[in-house]
Amino acid sequence: MLREDRSIYARFLAKFPEFEGDFKYDIHVGTNVNQGIGKLPDPFVKMARALYSKRIDVVIEDPKSIWIVEIKPHASLSAIGQVLGYSELFKRDHPEIAKPVFPMILTDRTGEDEKFMCNRFGIKIIHV
């Protein structure tokens, strides 16, 4: 997590202690960019796959649901695309999970257009 992201996340945890569950960080989803990885020496293959993987900032699993969390200072439309994409990739990569999966954006500020789009697509947006 970047420094700015950590600050937002810390404020979220302080403001919403009722969010309980299993918190996991930097969860890889989707397919890796594998071009050229096979040519690397073995010790570097794992590092290269981690570097080029798509990563969810935080996955929160509570008793009833799973939250896919994207943390962005000044969240824009790109954060909406990211969290929607990560949510769908997570569901595809984990078909064994029966709980509903919901997208969430944690941010310090955002515009009216982004609030409209989050509402339109069922994304929980939390300002801290």
Q: What is the pLDDT of residue 93?
A: 93
| Residue 66 β-bridge partners | 61, 101
Mean pLDDT of 71-99: 95
Q: Is 29 exposed, middle or buried (0-12, 13-18, 19+ CB in 10 A)?
A: buried
- pTM listed for this prediction: 0.85
Averaged pLDDT score across all residues of the chain: 89
Question: Cα(117)–Cα(50) distance, rounded to whole angstroms?
Answer: 31
Return phi, psi of residue 7, to 5°. -65, -45
Percentage helix, strand, coil, to 5, in the chain? 40, 30, 30
pLDDT of 72 > 70? The answer is yes
The answer as to CATH 3.40.1350.10 being correct for domain 3-127 is yes
Return phi, psi of residue 46, to 5°. -60, -45
Distances (CA, A) of 126 to 21, 71, 95: 18, 10, 27
CB atoms inside a 10 Å sphere around CB 5 = 17
Could you report the per-residue pLDDT of 30-68, keeping only the tens digit for each?
Answer: 876 555 566 777 777 767 766 767 889 999 999 999 999
